[in-house]
Amino acid sequence: MTAGRGDEAFLAAGGPARHVPVLRDEVMAALAPREGGLYLDATFGAGGYSRALLALPGLRVLALDRDPIAIAGGAELVNEAQGRLCLVQEKFGRLELAARERGFSDFDGVVFDIGVSSMQIDDAGRGFSFRGEGPLDMRMDRAGTSAADLVNTARETTLANIFYYFGEERASRRIAHAIVMDRAKAPFTSTVALASLIARVAPGRAGEVHPATRVFQALRIAVNDELGELVRALAAAEALLKQGGRLAVVTFHSLEDRIVKQFFTERSGRGKTSSRRLPHESEPPEPTFSQSGKQPVTPSPREIGANPRARSAKLRHGVRTKAMPRGPGDRLMALAKLPQDRPGSH
């Protein structure tokens, strides 16, 4: 089987690995699956978490993936599950609609494995990696604006912001300017052409990751609206989980982890002041999740040795309370947007 999600720098380089669901045992411990329960695997990929869940008798799984190739690859597991696995092509930001349209609600657990999958990285034709010649695409669902569209049409300031805020690239302005200058002569159509330009104008130091790594990450996030999808998906999971249901989220870089951490901080009531409120201050909402144990949970040295792509993984998890769901919320959505797209920006 192909590799699962993993470390961004390693993935961008397209290094080889075999499929091992990242933090599988820790995720299963967080979900505490029970026989006959109903679970949602919001990021099916190669089916690692779904397969682990289906090992329990009578347990049912609704699994989503926006990638049609992942859906086709899951057909064998659907057959093996004999009616206990429903596999749907859909963005996980729309998981509540996908679940309710099929008569599913009151889930016992929801799991997310956020980011690009190794199946996508290892396929040069998808355009996620710059190690092999491929089209500058990066669309997980093969629809909408591609990375080439963005690189060849976006304003220089927009490209610079994408590289800086979604890729944490310090040379963002220099790279964006070079792209705009070069695309006037000929559009960028291949991964290697873009990576070569980046290496030319912003060469990295010896021993560092390839200088194109952060830009490719940023473009992928922008093309697929990954951070916005994550915020919507977390809110949808909150709405679908029954009281006592469990949410487990595995992330691989700081942008994703920041959103998940903030979500659980807000929804568990951590950091809430216990002092008296001013007369005009409203009562804070009841926590929708409780958390326990030291978090985030990270891979063991043994797992990292067996699967280097797991080295940046972080697991955060919580248990649903009886409080009403709150929806995405402006503060969380702001974390998913570029500065000029945030409420109140100019």
Whether residues 143 and 205 share a domain: the answer is yes
Nearest to 198 by CA among 219, 221, 224: 219
Nearest to 20 by CA among 232, 304, 251: 304
Phi, psi of 256 (to 5 degrees): -65, -45
Residue 77 belongs to a domain: yes
Q: Identify residue 163 by its one-letter amino acid code.
A: F
Residue 3 belongs to a domain: no
Distances (CA, A) of 214 to 206, 208, 238, 257: 16, 12, 31, 16
Q: Identify residue 201 by its one-letter amino acid code.
A: V
Whether residues 69 and 90 share a domain: the answer is yes
Q: Which of 189, 206, 224 is the last residue of a domain?
A: 224
Q: What's the predicted TM-score (pTM) here? A: 0.87
Whether residues 288 and 331 share a domain: the answer is yes
Report pLDDT for 339: 83
- Residues 6+ positions from 313 with CB-CB distance below 8 Å: 5, 6, 7, 22, 23, 250, 251, 252, 298, 299
Report pLDDT for 108: 98
Whether residues 244 and 188 share a domain: the answer is no
CATH of the domain at 194: 1.10.150.170
Can you tell me the distance from the alpha carbon of 193 to that of 295, in angstroms, rounded to the nearest whole number?
41
Report pLDDT for 204: 80
Whether residues 247 and 327 share a domain: the answer is yes
Whether residues 259 and 296 share a domain: the answer is yes
Report pLDDT for 284: 79
Domain that holds residue 145: 126-224
Whether residues 106 and 34 share a domain: the answer is yes
Whether residues 61 and 80 share a domain: the answer is yes
Can you tell me the distance from the alpha carbon of 342 to that of 314, in angstroms, rounded to the nearest whole number?
27
Whether residues 317 and 233 share a domain: the answer is yes
The secondary structure of 90-153 as a DSSP string is --GGGHHHHHHHTT--SEEEEEEE-S--HHHHH-GGG---SSS--BS---SSS-S--HHHHHHH
Whether residues 135 and 88 share a domain: the answer is no
Can you tell me the distance from the alpha carbon of 287 to that of 274, in angstroms, rounded to the nearest whole number?
14
- pLDDT single digits (tens) 3-31: 345 444 434 333 333 356 899 999 999 99
Report pLDDT for 249: 98
Q: Identify residue 186 by its one-letter amino acid code.
A: A
CB of 44 within 8 A of CB of 74?
yes
Residue 23 belongs to a domain: yes
Q: In this structure, what token pair is assigned to residue 283?
A: 């009562």
Residue 346 belongs to a domain: no
Residue 193 belongs to a domain: yes
Residue 92 belongs to a domain: yes
Residue 1 belongs to a domain: no
Residue 276 belongs to a domain: no
CATH of the domain at 38: 3.40.50.150
Whether residues 112 and 154 share a domain: the answer is no
* Cis preceding linkage at 296, omega within 30: yes
Whether residues 46 and 164 share a domain: the answer is no
Report pLDDT for 283: 75
Number of separate domains in the chain: 2
CB of 309 within 8 A of CB of 11?
yes
- Residues 6+ positions from 45 with CB-CB distance below 8 Å: 4, 5, 65, 70, 113, 117, 119
| Regions of the chain short of the pLDDT cut 50 | 1-4, 6-18, 123-125, 127, 344-346
CB of 110 within 8 A of CB of 39?
yes
Q: In this structure, what token pair is assigned to residue 220?
A: 């992928």
